[in-house]
Structure 1
Amino acid sequence: MTPHDELRRYAPSVVEPADFDAFWRSTLDAARSRPVLVDVQPYRTGLRLVDTWDVTFAGFGGDPVRAWYTRPAGVDAPLPAVVEFAGYGRGRGLPHERLTWPVAGYAHLLMDNRGQSGLHGAGDTPDPHGAPGGPWPATWGILAPHDYHYRRLITDAVRAVEAVRALPGVDTDRVVAAGNSQGGGLALAVAGLRDDLAALLTTAPFLCDVQRGIELTDAAPYGEIARYLAVHRQAEEAVRHTLSYVDGVTFARRATAPAHFGIGLRDNVCPPSTGFAAHNQYGTANGRAERPALQLHAYPFNGHEGGEALHVGRQVRWLDALLRPTAHPAG
């Protein structure tokens, strides 16, 4: 059996808290007590083929979260929408940085990552909630599930999907969650928390099989959690308990949307086995007899960069075949 064959069979027993569903239900119910849209303003980009709006929506705790909403210029008909989540340490940046989905004919909402701008990209959304933990986003509030940064960020991601449905020109029956790395982990979480997504696109997802991930690599973000534990040795039990509430495998098991995965087999940031753990258990909760449609592309000689532009092209063709089968032939 080859290593790839072993990865295709890898299905670890991930720790799942007894109150996992209740935890997320109460968290999202609290967020939904406020109207989702806060502000929507036209934004001049200088680009003639797309129109863009600067969006603010209410995320975790009602905190204002920023996003860019971009769509093909002059198109008034409702379009399928791709809600995209950025990678670790990145913000929403500038609207002309990510144009694949609007150019492909989709409405596109790009969510800012609260508190994470400045490491790899610019953003405009603070994270005002302090709690004991380490100095990096992956360790903020990590000693308790209710305090953890990813409780807030995942809630923001779910609210982003709800926000796009409230924006003009969106076909609310065709909303997609998409992301790479941390963004892929957020998209997986949304797929596990909502049963009305049209599709999921996730590449090199972070936070999957997370208890093992922190043991496999020294690269950030997992390495940041390991470095925190190297100093706070007595905190391991509390940290592992917190991480069990954000594991992408647990979200993946609950997901119902068709899904497209991409994984680099030499990835030392999000080790490939962790992504396969989510893929291999996707849609299996409660002994479901039939799993959602799944497609996975593995890149044997690539790391965290995965298939890059080749993979994006595959995503575009797969999504068109799924949502707009007469638009382009599947390739």
Structure 2
Amino acid sequence: MNDTGRSRSSTLESAIIDVPRPADFDEFWAESLRLLDTVDARPSLRHLPERSTERVDVYELHYSGFHGVRIAAWCTMPAGRTGPLPTVVHIPGYISEPSIMKSWSERGYLTVALAPRGKLRSNDLVNPGYPGLLTADITDRFTYAYRGFYLDVIRALDVVAELEQVDAERIGVWGSSQGGGLGIVAAALRPNIVRAFAAGAPYLCGIMESARLTHSYPYEEINEFLRVHPEAEAEATETAAYYDGMNFAPAVRAPSLVYLGLEDDVCPPETGFAVYRELGGVKELHTYPRCAHDAGLRWVIPKVEAFLDGHLKQAAERDGVNA
């Protein structure tokens, strides 16, 4: 990193992002998880030979999330291996649809790429749209659209941990932007399942401050909402605090890798540094001075792979014996 990069990183790293923690934050999420537990997950796994290859078997996974909404996911496994396998759960970005992660299964992983409510294959009952998700019912923490979305991710972890092909002691999470922010939430709410996670350019961290720091979408949705409904700012701010990664981060105990682009105009890097400071557990940070919301993806992918391999693969697999 050159002097300019070091100077900018130092300025961003020292920024103060203040997110008040609601007094009943833990109780709210404990009750949310209790309500989720009342829903029968009804998981189903269907092999898709038309999408499979000689090296990778592809499946479509379905399960029931919060309020019984049916959720879809892609699942891949190394062909011919029945497990138990190390597993990576991938959470998509805000406007992204889940990809079929065949390359990870070629490296020995079972993968699950989620399509939480609102995504194309999970939008029959809930479809706030993009833009739209960030501000849908944002004045009420109980009906806010992200409540179900967050719980869809948590339910996925519960379902994955029960799959017979999965080694429940070797489950990791990876995602960027929305996927990065939700990785923090997942590690905080399911510490018994998430063994490690990698989070790029984490979204939903310092939510209201981000809307002031940038005028790019999705955060611009908040600015637009408040221009029309200025009287709702206090309620929106209160609701956002229940969903802010800054308030989940201290509960994280899993090892984490965070990567940021210092020119990110979508998820302000100030918020990435701030949530990294709050993370519990062993952690490492990678920053890329001339990168925007991609957060240095071209260069960081090998680091993500090595990080998750180190925590999720057994020694023989890391050495290539059973790859």
On whether the aligned pair clears a TM of 0.5, the verdict is yes
**1:85-106 deviation per Cα after TM superposition (whole angstroms, max 9, x unaligned):** 001122335x3xx333222211
Match of 1:309 in 2: 298
Query: 1:100 aligned to 2:106?
Result: no
Tell me how far apart the structure 2 counterparts of residues 127 and 182 of structure 1 sit (CA, whole Å).
21
Q: Is the 8 A contact 1:134 1:228 kept in 2?
A: no
Tell me how far apart the structure 1 counterparts of residues 125 and 165 of structure 2 sit (CA, whole Å).
32
Structural RMSD (CA): 2.0
The DSSP-based 3-state class of the residue aligned with 2:198 is strand
The DSSP-based 3-state class of the residue aligned with 1:213 is helix
**1:247-302 deviation per Cα after TM superposition (whole angstroms, max 9, x unaligned):** 0111111111000101000000001011111101101xxxxxxxx11111100000
Q: Is the 8 A contact 1:92 1:113 kept in 2?
A: no
Query: 1:319 aligned to 2:319?
Result: no
Query: 1:2 aligned to 2:10?
Result: no
Query: Quick one: which amino acid aligns to residue 19 of structure 2?
Result: V
Structure 1's 206 and 3: CA in aligned 2 closer, same or farther, altered over 3 A?
A: same
Please state how far the C-alpha of 1:75 moved relative to its aligned partner. 0.9
Q: Is the 8 A contact 1:260 1:294 kept in 2?
A: yes
Q: 1:154 aligns with which of 143, 150, 154?
A: 150
Query: 1:48 aligned to 2:54?
Result: yes
Tell me how far apart the structure 1 counterparts of residues 289 and 239 of structure 2 sit (CA, whole Å).
33
Q: 1:210 aligns with which of 207, 211, 216?
A: 207
Please state how far the C-alpha of 1:10 moved relative to its aligned partner. 4.4
Tell me how far apart the structure 1 counterparts of residues 234 and 130 of structure 2 sit (CA, whole Å).
15
Q: Is the 8 A contact 1:10 1:280 kept in 2?
A: no
Match of 1:87 in 2: 93
Tell me how far apart the structure 2 counterparts of residues 46 and 74 of structure 1 sit (CA, whole Å).
12
Q: Is the 8 A contact 1:54 1:68 kept in 2?
A: yes
Match of 1:264 in 2: 261
Tell me how far apart the structure 1 counterparts of residues 173 and 52 of structure 2 sit (CA, whole Å).
27
Q: Is the 8 A contact 1:38 1:64 kept in 2?
A: no
Query: Quick one: which amino acid aligns to residue 85 of structure 1?
Result: I
Tell me how far apart the structure 2 counterparts of residues 134 and 322 of structure 1 sit (CA, whole Å).
35
So what's the TM-score if we normalise by structure 2? 0.91
Q: Is the 8 A contact 1:81 1:176 kept in 2?
A: yes
Structure 1's 186 and 103: CA in aligned 2 closer, same or farther, altered over 3 A?
A: same
Match of 2:27 in 1: 22
Gaps of 5+ in 1: 118-122, 284-291
Match of 1:31 in 2: 36
Match of 1:139 in 2: 135
The DSSP-based 3-state class of the residue aligned with 1:267 is coil
**1:50-79 deviation per Cα after TM superposition (whole angstroms, max 9, x unaligned):** 112111111111211111111111112211
So what's the TM-score if we normalise by structure 1? 0.88
The DSSP-based 3-state class of the residue aligned with 1:105 is coil
Q: Is the 8 A contact 2:78 2:105 kept in 1?
A: yes
Tell me how far apart the structure 2 counterparts of residues 265 and 255 of structure 1 sit (CA, whole Å).
24
State percent identity of aligned pairs. Answer: 33
Q: Is the 8 A contact 1:86 1:182 kept in 2?
A: yes
Tell me how far apart the structure 1 counterparts of residues 262 and 291 of structure 2 sit (CA, whole Å).
6
Query: Quick one: which amino acid aligns to residue 61 of structure 1?
Result: H
Q: Is the 8 A contact 1:37 1:166 kept in 2?
A: no
Match of 1:234 in 2: 231
Query: Quick one: which amino acid aligns to residue 213 of structure 2?
Result: L
Match of 2:69 in 1: 63
Query: Quick one: which amino acid aligns to residue 102 of structure 1?
Result: S
The DSSP-based 3-state class of the residue aligned with 2:292 is coil
Tell me how far apart the structure 2 counterparts of residues 9 and 191 of structure 1 sit (CA, whole Å).
25
Q: Is the 8 A contact 2:17 2:209 kept in 1?
A: no
Please state how far the C-alpha of 1:3 moved relative to its aligned partner. 3.1
Q: Is the 8 A contact 2:210 2:267 kept in 1?
A: yes
**1:25-55 deviation per Cα after TM superposition (whole angstroms, max 9, x unaligned):** 1111111113323322111214221112111
Tell me how far apart the structure 1 counterparts of residues 124 and 155 of structure 2 sit (CA, whole Å).
16
Query: Quick one: which amino acid aligns to residue 189 of structure 2?
Result: L
With CA pairs under 8 Å and 6+ residues apart, which has the higher RCO, 1 or 2?
2
Q: Is the 8 A contact 2:90 2:112 kept in 1?
A: yes
Query: Quick one: which amino acid aligns to residue 21 of structure 2?
Result: E
Gaps of 5+ in 2: 1-5
Q: Is the 8 A contact 1:65 1:114 kept in 2?
A: yes
Tell me how far apart the structure 2 counterparts of residues 124 and 322 of structure 1 sit (CA, whole Å).
31
> Counterparts in 2 of 1:192-203, with a 5 A limit?
192-196=188-192, 197-203=194-200
Please state how far the C-alpha of 1:185 moved relative to its aligned partner. 1.1
Tell me how far apart the structure 1 counterparts of residues 47 and 25 of structure 2 sit (CA, whole Å).
39
Match of 1:120 in 2: none
Query: Quick one: which amino acid aligns to residue 316 of structure 1?
Result: E
